């Protein structure tokens, strides 16, 4: 029993002589053993993958999937658990004396029983691996999901450029502002949403045709850019310079993308491009945000939301999307600080509730230093919506902030199951305690937090605190296109700054699938697959070391070059 070395997933099989074990008995047993209140134990059990299922084994009538109870120190907990059970049985504690509890760790399949030695293997590897070897190892590492991903911010600048030009086949022709001829004179609209003096703002042909001759002279078609202009265009939508940070990102990147955000075919194609890149990095699930409103035909008329939805459905069903090996679902994100955000929330929530085949959650985004979007503003709206709709998950940005505040607590009160960023949780002790060993996942975005200046360096980042205090965490990429990075960069950052153990790495990946908003069946399938891939990876690496990874050709981008000095080894696709 103790030679088995499960990580953080197991199945508790409960058998009773001659009858069914009652849920209440199980709760009592677990409650006693773990010294948890019954209420707490019950919550854990009922939250565990829907609780009860019928087992085909005639000796065992029911089993309960156990996750949270055994997240850390599994082997010692098993020993402790078994000892307690054996102590309890002779004393005949009411119904418990009739219960034979078999704790069977099987991690979904026998092939996924882990070799205990891999923790040591990984510790040895960390001590001796070059940066290149570590990057190769982490690129090949089987991963789970990216749960915090903004589809438009996730597109690399090169992808935007290529795809924008290809969209001529759908009738879309794009122009970008390459010079300023003072067509509008002095004192224009610098603080509007589309300031005149901003370069590399993209417009469609129908908008271009409405401009004066002077202003038309300021724009070039994307395909006509000189090499220098093209490079500047690419750099205009990523944080490539030391002085660029939060303000550049929030105030200019989206303004520049402008009408590129309004083409549903490009949107769907670029999500598939992300799926392909993530699949090559070993991910199997992408939960990204994308909406259905605000899309335009080439002539500038509006797309109906249902038609945009259909474009997504059809695109993701195409063979090249399926071939990525990455399952995709969408969240619907809304800007939280706008004047009519409650109305938007209501529309979005109802749309998600009625399009669950693809949309799994609602997100709220936007700078948290704009207090007009504070979380509790939306509590009455969400309460009213919960009266009418079921099955809408909430994953909301909170705690992406420089100051201590109660945004995370208030966001949990809104009903969020997952918190995006959660950087300032350490400033709210009560909420931090609430989240330990609980069901709320924090989507951690290490690179985003650094580049958007929520931490000055990783010594300030709370991620290891959360991880090692038992708060569920997963790594995610946020707007990786604008950092020009990938998921491997997140893992590399975590391993090199926080000395992650192998168990921690495996748990982070498992968390990303377990806390996804997938249906149970798909989630179980992806988790099974994850553990199998991890087991195979361990075996291969244990047998052949780096020779097991000779076929791995990592793809990395400019972030890895700048931050990790890994410039010469890998070629961006």
Per CB under 5 A, the segment of 26-34, 173-181, 474-482, 486-494 that binds Zn ion is 474-482
Smallest separation, CB 321 to Zn ion (Å): 23
CB-closest chain residue to Zn ion: 478
Would you say 478 or 490 has its CB closer to Zn ion?
478
User: Alpha-carbon distance 227 to 374, whole Å?
Assistant: 44
User: Is residue 423 a contact partner of residue 455, using CB atoms and an 8 Å limit?
Assistant: yes
Q: Among the candidate windows 86-94, 162-170, 476-484, 488-496, which touches Zn ion by CB under 5 A?
A: 476-484
Nearer to Zn ion, 41 or 149 (CB): 149
Q: Segment 37-56, which members bind Zn ion (CB under 5 A)?
A: none
Q: Phi then psi for 403, rounded to 5 degrees?
A: -110, 155
Cβ neighbours of residue 15 under 8 Å, at least 6 residues apart? Answer: 21, 59, 60, 61, 99, 100, 101, 102
- Binding part of the chain for Zn ion, among 82-90, 434-442, 475-483, 539-547 by CB under 5 A, reads 475-483
Q: C-beta of 252: minimal distance to Zn ion in Å?
A: 17
* Minimum CB–partner distance for residue 300 and Zn ion (Å): 30
Q: Which of these segments, 30-38, 96-104, 473-481, 538-546, binds Zn ion (CB under 5 A)?
A: 473-481
Neighbour-count burial of 352, counting CB atoms closer than 10 A to its CB (0-12 exposed, 13-18 middle, 19+ buried): buried
C-alpha radius of gyration, the chain, whole number = 26
- Note whether 146 binds Zn ion by CB under 5 A: no
Question: Does 428 sit near Zn ion (CB under 5 A)?
Answer: no
> Segment near Zn ion (CB under 5 A), from 37-45, 85-93, 471-479, 495-503?
471-479
Residue 5 or 466 with smaller CB distance to Zn ion: 466
Q: Which two tokens stand for residue 152?
A: 């438009």
Q: Of 218 and 478, which has the nearer Cβ to Zn ion?
A: 478
Per CB under 5 A, 478 contacts Zn ion: yes
Q: How far is the CB of 148 from Zn ion (least distance, A)?
A: 6
Stretch that binds Zn ion, among 10-18, 80-88, 213-221, 472-480 (CB under 5 A): 472-480
Cβ–Cβ contacts within 10 Å for residue 340, how many?
9
Nearest to Zn ion of 281, 478 (CB atom): 478
Distances (CA, A) of 121 to 115, 127, 347: 10, 10, 52
- CA–CA separation, 122 vs 125, rounded Å? 5
* Nearest residue (CB) to Zn ion, 146 versus 478: 478
In the complex with Zn ion, the residue whose CB is nearer, 368 or 428, is 368
Q: Which two tokens stand for residue 343?
A: 């109305």
CA–CA gap between residue 162 and residue 339 (Å, rounded): 36
Would you tell me how many other CB atoms lie within 10 Å of the CB of residue 2?
12
Please state the φ and ψ torsions of residue 211, each to the nearest 5 degrees: -75, 160
Cβ 372 to Zn ion shortest distance, Å = 18
Please report which helix (H) or strand (E) contains residue 396, including its range: strand 393-398
Alpha carbon distance, N-terminus to C-terminus of the chain: 47
Residues contacting Zn ion: total by CB under 5 A: 1
Q: How far is the CB of 483 from Zn ion (least distance, A)?
A: 12
CB of 375 to Zn ion, least distance (A): 15
Dist. CA 47–CA 66, nearest whole Å: 9
Nearer to Zn ion, 8 or 478 (CB): 478
- Give the binding range for Zn ion (CB under 5 A) out of 62-70, 243-251, 457-465, 478-486: 478-486
CB of 150 to Zn ion, least distance (A): 6
Candidates 237-245, 299-307, 317-325, 477-485 — which segment interacts with Zn ion by CB under 5 A?
A: 477-485
Give least dist CB 478 to Zn ion, A. 4
Q: How far is the CB of 51 from Zn ion (least distance, A)?
A: 32
How are beta strands 62-66 and 52-54 bridged, if at all? antiparallel
Q: Specify the long-range contacts of residues 221-224, CB closer than 8 Å, at least 24 apart.
A: 221/173, 221/174, 221/175, 222/161, 222/164, 222/165, 222/174, 222/175, 222/176, 223/165
Considering the complex, state which of residue 327 and residue 395 has its C-beta at the smaller distance from Zn ion. Answer: 395
Residue among 248 and 478 whose Cβ is closer to Zn ion:
478
478 or 489, CB closer to Zn ion?
A: 478
Least gap, CB of 229 to Zn ion (angstroms):
30
Q: What is the 3-state secondary structure (H, E, C) of 185-248?
A: CCCCCCCCCCCCCCCCCEEEHHHHCCCCHHHHCCEEEHHHCCHHHHHHHHHCCCCCCCCCCHHH
Q: How far is the CB of 154 from Zn ion (least distance, A)?
A: 10
Q: What share of the chain is helix, strand, coil (3-state, %, to 5)?
A: 50, 15, 35
Instruction: Tell me which residues in 222-281 interact with Zn ion (CB under 5 A).
Output: none
Cβ-based nearer residue to Zn ion, 5 or 517 = 517
Contacts 24+ apart (CB under 8 A), 350-355: 350/385, 350/389, 351/292, 351/305, 352/392, 353/389, 353/390, 353/391, 353/392, 355/309
Which residues are at the interface with Zn ion (CB under 5 A)? Answer: 478
């Amino acid at each position: 029993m103790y030679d088995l070395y499960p990580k953080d997933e197991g199945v508790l099989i409960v058998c009773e002589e001659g009858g069914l074990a009652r849920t209440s008995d199980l709760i009592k047993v677990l409650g006693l053993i773990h010294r948890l209140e019954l209420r707490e134990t019950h919550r854990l059990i009922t939250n565990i993958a829907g609780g009860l299922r019928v087992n085909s084994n005639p000796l065992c009538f029911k089993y309960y999937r156990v996750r949270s109870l055994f997240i850390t120190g599994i082997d010692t907990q098993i020993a402790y658990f078994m000892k307690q059970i054996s102590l309890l049985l002779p004393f005949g504690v009411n119904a418990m004396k009739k219960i034979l509890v078999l704790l069977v760790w099987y991690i979904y399949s026998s092939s996924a029983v882990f070799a205990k030695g891999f923790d040591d293997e990984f510790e040895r590897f960390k001590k001796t691996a070059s940066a290149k070897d570590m990057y190769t190892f982490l690129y090949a590492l089987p991963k789970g999901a990216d749960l915090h991903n903004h589809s438009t911010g996730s597109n690399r600048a090169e992808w935007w450029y290529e795809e924008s030009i290809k969209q001529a086949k759908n009738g879309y022709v794009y122009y970008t502002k390459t010079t300023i001829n003072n067509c509008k004179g002095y004192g224009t609209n610098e603080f509007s949403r589309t300031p005149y003096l901003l370069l590399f703002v993209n417009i469609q042909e129908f908008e271009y045709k409405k401009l004066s001759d002077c202003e038309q002279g300021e724009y070039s078609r994307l395909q006509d850019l000189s090499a220098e202009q093209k490079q500047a265009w690419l750099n205009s939508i990523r944080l490539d310079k030391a002085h660029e940070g939060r303000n550049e990102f929030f105030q200019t990147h989206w303004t520049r993308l402008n009408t590129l955000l309004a083409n549903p075919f490009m949107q769907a194609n670029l999500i598939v491009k992300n799926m392909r890149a993530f699949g090559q990095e070993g991910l199997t699930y992408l939960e990204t945000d994308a909406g259905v409103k605000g899309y335009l035909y080439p002539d500038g008329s509006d797309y109906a939301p249902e038609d945009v939805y259909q474009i997504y459905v059809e695109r993701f069903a195409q063979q090249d999307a399926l071939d990525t090996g990455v399952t995709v679902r969408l969240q619907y994100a809304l800007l939280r600080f706008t004047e009519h955000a409650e109305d938007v929330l209501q529309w979005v929530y109802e749309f998600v509730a009625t399009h669950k085949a693809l949309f799994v959650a609602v997100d709220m985004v936007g700078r948290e230093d704009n207090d007009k979007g504070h979380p509790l503003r939306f509590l009455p709206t969400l309460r009213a919506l919960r009266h009418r709709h079921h099955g809408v998950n909430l994953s909301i940005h909170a705690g992406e902030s420089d100051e201590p505040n109660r945004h995370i607590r208030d966001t949990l009160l809104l009903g969020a199951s997952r918190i995006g960023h959660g950087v300032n949780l350490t400033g709210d002790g009560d909420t931090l305690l609430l989240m330990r060993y609980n069901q709320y996942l924090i989507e951690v975005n290490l690179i985003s937090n650094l580049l958007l200046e929520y931490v000055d360096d990783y010594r300030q980042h709370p991620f290891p605190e959360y991880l090692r205090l038992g708060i569920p965490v997963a790594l995610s990429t946020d707007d990786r296109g604008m950092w020009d990075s990938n998921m491997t960069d997140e893992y590399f950052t975590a391993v090199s700054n926080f000395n992650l153990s192998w168990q921690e790495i495996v748990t982070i990946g498992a968390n990303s699938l377990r806390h996804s908003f997938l249906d149970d069946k798909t989630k179980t399938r992806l988790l099974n697959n994850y553990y199998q891939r991890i087991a195979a990876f361990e075996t291969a690496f244990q047998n052949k070391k780096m020779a097991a990874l000779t076929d791995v050709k990592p793809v990395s981008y400019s972030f890895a070059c700048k931050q990790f000095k890994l410039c010469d080894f890998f070629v961006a696709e």
